[in-house]
A and B are shown apart, each in its own frame.
Chain A
């Protein structure tokens, strides 16, 4: 059918055009820019090869950002999923008003990281400190986001608060898909609660874990909004003999390299490295989880 052909073309064209212009072209341009001396101003670019790539690994701020982003990602994968899973058990238990709780736990997820960042900045800097002073608790008298040892944990705490309700919902959907008969049979066989959760429910939820681990991995690794309004990268600290920012995650480091210092090519090179790491990590995670799914 010839007509089918050109109507299909018209139907596909607008989306394909936007896709190519917004993702594909900038993606390849970006790889090219990363190997030039692009500074956002000059019009003729000079090819510099891999200079920008080797340069970033000599930069204390980048190395530190890289390390804390890994730490932040690991903390969040663990925290968000453990809390989300426990909440899903709560939300499918016989607790009165479980639907109300379920709906409530989901709310932080609807509000953007920008707004939540300011709210929690206030909570950490004003409310907690005020309570610490009132109760005479020394550890609360200095804000958790003003100390370099606690700032990553404070950010993880807020991220867990924001994200656990969403992850909970995915677990709830997965728990409800487990056939009644399976859990009843386990009950009859005398399996206690813990056995039922670990030996029956969790293996049957393997595909849900693939999704939730992927979501928490990519979201923590790409964290920007919350980072910029909660801590704005601070506090300052010294690392490898240089003054750096103790909570500047990779996404923020990329943004600031370009925005604050106009080092467009260097920022772009960092973004390419960021992309490669993210793809490698998520491929490994999905591969490992899929293997678990088959076993289960």
Chain B
């Protein structure tokens, strides 16, 4: 397991003195203690996922007697007739992939046009996108549901409880921040390349897809991570658009439905939490550098 931080490690250190003093040893002990405290909840999830409900009540802190129980719990969850946990994984994946594709592509196109088309209108539109970032989800969520119902009836394409509806909603909620990040990057890209392409007879759309898009790559990674983690973990929007008992269910919805119907059955609730965490932890182990960089850059910009 390689745990290299994404932020570049400098050879500079802030601690006192040049030699490894007593202070540093104390600091190292503190670091280990804080680390154990940070990891404790995860350890508890893992050890209790491998227990029966009875064993957990008997003692939640001892190691499990039989690690094989973890598999029994997983099978119980997947075989649950009233809660399609496996389906939720598929739905979450579909929704995240669709939303990320749409947000990234359309926001990049929009940001590029807003930067390159230097008119009063483009700066006004950009300002609107940025200003809307202060609007909290809570103030639009109820009208949004009603509005989606009206819209869906009008265009005869259901916007509630459908993939297209939630993807469209994610484009609306995700575009402000994404355009802001792309806008900042594209401003710094020299025009010469694009002008050369135009002189060579390359149309505007082709210039964008063949010249600009490859240049955007590092920013695309940032945007994918930032939006991906938000969408994967998002709860309220899927709850409102898809409903808590709808056909399409995301993982957070499935976890709450599951915990709601198996009140206090911690063996199964913790195993379902473990299953929900695994994909993102695995991704983190492989792409840790990019994830940290993406999330920090997204905040700073």
Residue contact B61 to A131, C-beta cutoff 8 Å? yes
Distance in angstroms between the alpha carbons of A22 and B102 in the assembled complex = 15
Chain B contact patch, size range:
35 or more
Question: Interface stretch among A60-68, A169-177, A288-296?
Answer: A169-177
B223 → A minimal CB distance (Å): 13
Residues of A contacting B139 with CB < 8 Å? 27, 30, 271-272, 274-275
16 A-B contacts, Cβ less than 8 Å apart?
A12-B125, A18-B175, A23-B135, A27-B139, A29-B147, A30-B139, A30-B140, A30-B142, A30-B143, A90-B31, A105-B34, A105-B35, A107-B38, A225-B252, A268-B143, A274-B139
Looking at the complex, which one of A5, A122, A192 makes contact with B44 (CB distance below 8 Å)? A122
Residue contact A126 to B140, C-beta cutoff 8 Å? no
Distance in angstroms between the alpha carbons of A22 and B5 in the assembled complex = 37
Known: A8-B113, A30-B143, A267-B142. A95 touches B7 (CB 8 A): no
Residue contact B14 to A18, C-beta cutoff 8 Å? no
Tell me the residues in window 119-171 of chain A with beta carbons closer than 8 Å to chain B beta carbons.
Answer: 119-120, 122-123, 126-127, 130-131, 161, 165-166, 169-170
Distance in angstroms between the alpha carbons of A225 and B4 in the assembled complex = 30
- Secondary structure of the B side of the interface? helix
Known: A103-B292, A176-B7. A271 touches B142 (CB 8 A): yes
Question: Interface stretch among A49-57, A71-79, A108-116, A239-247?
Answer: A108-116
Residue contact B273 to A115, C-beta cutoff 8 Å? yes
Tell me the residues in window 271-298 of chain B with beta carbons closer than 8 Å to chain A beta carbons.
Answer: 273, 276-277, 280-281, 284, 288, 291-292, 295-296
Residue contact A29 to B255, C-beta cutoff 8 Å? no
Chain A contact patch, size range:
35 or more
A188 at the binding interface (Cβ < 8 Å): no
Residue contact A211 to B299, C-beta cutoff 8 Å? yes
B121 → A minimal CB distance (Å): 10
Distance in angstroms between the alpha carbons of A267 and B138 in the assembled complex = 10
Residue contact B28 to A111, C-beta cutoff 8 Å? no
Known: A99-B4, A268-B143. A92 touches B14 (CB 8 A): yes
> 15 other contacts beyond A4-B204, A19-B172, A99-B3, with CB at 8 A cut-off?
A19-B171, A23-B132, A23-B173, A26-B143, A30-B140, A30-B142, A30-B143, A104-B3, A110-B284, A118-B273, A169-B295, A211-B300, A268-B142, A274-B139, A279-B134
Give 1 or 0 for each of B17-29: 1 = CB within 8 Å of chain A CB.
0001000100110
Tell me the residues in window 99-125 of chain B with beta carbons closer than 8 Å to chain A beta carbons.
Answer: 106-107, 109-110, 112-114, 116-117, 122, 125
Looking at the complex, which one of A11, A22, A278 makes contact with B112 (CB distance below 8 Å)? A11
Tell me the residues in window 221-256 of chain B with beta carbons closer than 8 Å to chain A beta carbons.
Answer: 229, 232-236, 252, 255-256
A254 at the binding interface (Cβ < 8 Å): yes
Residues of B contacting A87 with CB < 8 Å? 34
- Chain A residue at minimal CB-CB distance from B41: A119
Give 1 or 0 for each of A231-256: 1 = CB within 8 Å of chain B CB.
00000000000000000000100110
B270 at the binding interface (Cβ < 8 Å): yes
Distance in angstroms between the alpha carbons of A228 and B142 in the assembled complex = 18
Looking at the complex, which one of A4, A24, A113, A208 makes contact with B132 (CB distance below 8 Å)? A24
Residue contact B172 to A90, C-beta cutoff 8 Å? no
Looking at the complex, which one of A21, A126, A225, A275 makes contact with B172 (CB distance below 8 Å)? A21
Residues of B contacting A180 with CB < 8 Å? 10, 12
Q: Which of B140, B234, B235, B281 has the largest number of chain A CB atoms within 10 A?
A: B140
B185 at the binding interface (Cβ < 8 Å): no
Looking at the complex, which one of B42, B122, B292 makes contact with A106 (CB distance below 8 Å)? B292
Q: Which of B59, B146, B276, B296 has the largest number of chain A CB atoms within 10 A?
A: B296
Residues of A contacting B135 with CB < 8 Å? 23, 27, 275
Interface residues of A (CB under 8 A from B): 3-5, 7-8, 11-12, 14-16, 18-19, 21-27, 29-30, 33, 40, 87, 89-116, 118-120, 122-123, 126-127, 130-131, 161, 165-166, 169-170, 172-173, 175-176, 180, 183, 192-193, 196-197, 201, 208, 211, 215, 218, 222, 224-225, 228-229, 251, 254-255, 258, 264, 267-268, 271-272, 274-275, 278-279, 282
- Chain B residue at minimal CB-CB distance from A126: B60
B205 at the binding interface (Cβ < 8 Å): yes
The 8 closest A-B pairs by CB, nearest first: A22-B172, A112-B233, A26-B143, A18-B171, A29-B143, A11-B113, A15-B110, A26-B140
Known: A95-B31, A122-B48. A19 touches B299 (CB 8 A): no
- Chain A residue at minimal CB-CB distance from B277: A111
B30 at the binding interface (Cβ < 8 Å): yes
B218 → A minimal CB distance (Å): 16
A3 → B minimal CB distance (Å): 7
B171 → A minimal CB distance (Å): 4
Residue contact A29 to B299, C-beta cutoff 8 Å? no
Residue contact B151 to A21, C-beta cutoff 8 Å? yes
B179 at the binding interface (Cβ < 8 Å): yes
